[in-house]
Amino acid sequence: MSHSAVSQAATAVSVSVGNERSLRRSVFKHNNSISFNTKSSWSSSLALNQKTTTTIRDARRYTSTTTLCMSVQQASSSKVSVSPIELEDPSDPPLNLYKPKDSYTAKIVSVERVVGPKAPGETCHIVIDHDGNLPYWEGQSYGVIPPGENPKKPGAPHNVRLYSIASTRYGDFFDGKTASLCVRRAVYYDPETGKEDPSKNGVCSNFLCDSKPGDNIQITGPSGKVMLLPENDPNATHIMIATGTGVAPYRGYLRRLFMEDVPNYGFKGLAWLFLGVANTDSLLYDDEFSKYLKDHPDNFRFDKALSREEKNKKGGKMYVQDKIEEYSDEIFKLLDNGAHIYFCGLKGMMPGIQDTLKRVAEERGESWDAKLSQLRKNKQWHVEVY
Ligand code: FAD
């Protein structure tokens, strides 16, 4: 069978997927049979939005991210079945299966603007079909090679740009065949005129945000180990700090912790997300996160810092470090008890956060430098900024 067949009963869909290409690295060999069963209201609502008989690629196109967001609203607290469970098997994460000189050609499934009209700038959620050939773990990144010639090296392709993967290893369709990115379009404004200069806009982010379903995309990776979610302790605390698209890896973590029925992994700890964006319209994946708050109030906390809408206690703009300061006592206690803390987003977020943490440590009579080196030594400190 060259394409997958999807047949739908009233509340269940069974999907069998033909093996079009064997998996590139044998350690990640897949089971090619996928089933969405009635156990999960997430998968049921996904199924209910699919046509009676269609191909899985068509199903992906018909079932947009918007539909998935709607299913967030509809779902009960039961979890979504995922497959193939062999993606849990390897003891080490996949790394650099495809390199810049030997990249993988994947296909764009969907591109959706995920910020409201009052958000400054544009951010898109992009689903990519890798057909199971580019497996990854939550917290890793893909490299993207935009089409065209590298202006600095005539005749050569563009350099690779990295993007944090915003889905779990099972992807937004829970079948291990897609990966999602959360991409902010880089736009250049002339500092003198204040006008946009399209010739200087970011190459790869604009390629991604302008791409259409069915377009080819050259991918490398997956890469990165710093942001992998440690899973040895189901009672662990994970404090996740993001600005803007830095929320991408946390969307993956939180789906794994709260949405997916992952074999042998029942999370009972605390996940605490701090998200800094400009305003309400700039909030990313807010429906999903709000749903976790409702369904898992003892295991999930979510604090937002809206810099253009809220004021900090000194009357200035509310940044993510102001929220950290507000909860610093609790955060320090959690860190002392072994919590993991993650930072992801623009490089510029770190100095303000580090200053705040240092000040709080000093107020508590602690040395921040000593504390930081201990956190690093214990592998509790995870930073990926760009
Ligand atoms: P480029 O073409 O590389 O340009 C870079 C910047 O320079 C742009 O802002 C552009 O407008 C400006 N510019 C271009 N020409 C000129 C000129 N002549 N003068 C002055 N300025 C100019 N980004 C995300 O959106 N989401 C993510 O999840 C994400 N994850 C990342 C993870 C990692 C580990 C890393 C390292 C980076 C990540 N990034 C992410 C950033 C991403 O890799 C790119 O750097 C970003 O999208 C910009 O790439 P670009 O090709 O669009 O811009």
DSSP string, 280-313: GGG--SHHHHHHHHHH-TTTEEEEEEETTT-B-T
pLDDT of residue 52: 27
Which CATH number describes the domain made up of 229-385? 3.40.50.80
Domain boundaries, the chain: 85-223, 229-385
Q: How many CB atoms lie within 10 A of CB 254?
A: 28
Q: Give distance in angstroms: CA of 186 to centre of ligand 1.
A: 6
At position 258, the amino acid (one-letter code) is F
Q: Give distance in angstroms: CA of 353 to centre of ligand 1.
A: 22
Successive 10-residue mean pLDDT values, the chain, 386 residues: 30 29 34 32 35 35 41 59 95 97 98 98 98 98 98 95 98 98 97 95 98 98 98 96 98 98 90 98 98 97 98 96 95 97 97 94 95 98 98
pLDDT of residue 326: 96
**How far is the C-alpha of 124 from the C-alpha of 209, rounded, in Å?**
6
pLDDT of residue 265: 80
The closest-lying atom of ligand 1 relative to the alpha carbon of residue 123 is 25
- Among 58, 52, 80, smallest CA distance to 68 is for 80
**How far is the C-alpha of 8 from the C-alpha of 1, rounded, in Å?**
18
**How far is the C-alpha of 37 from the C-alpha of 8, rounded, in Å?**
11
**How far is the C-alpha of 30 from the C-alpha of 155, rounded, in Å?**
37
User: 123: Cβ below 6 Å to ligand 1?
Assistant: no
pLDDT of residue 77: 56
pLDDT of residue 76: 46
- Name the architecture of domain 85-223: Beta Barrel (2.40)
**How far is the C-alpha of 376 from the C-alpha of 383, rounded, in Å?**
10
pLDDT of residue 273: 98
Q: Compute the radius of gyration of the chain from its Cα atoms.
A: 21
* Residue pair 59/51 in contact by the 8 Å Cβ criterion: yes
pLDDT of residue 78: 87
* Residue 326 is labelled as binding a ligand: no
pLDDT of residue 264: 76
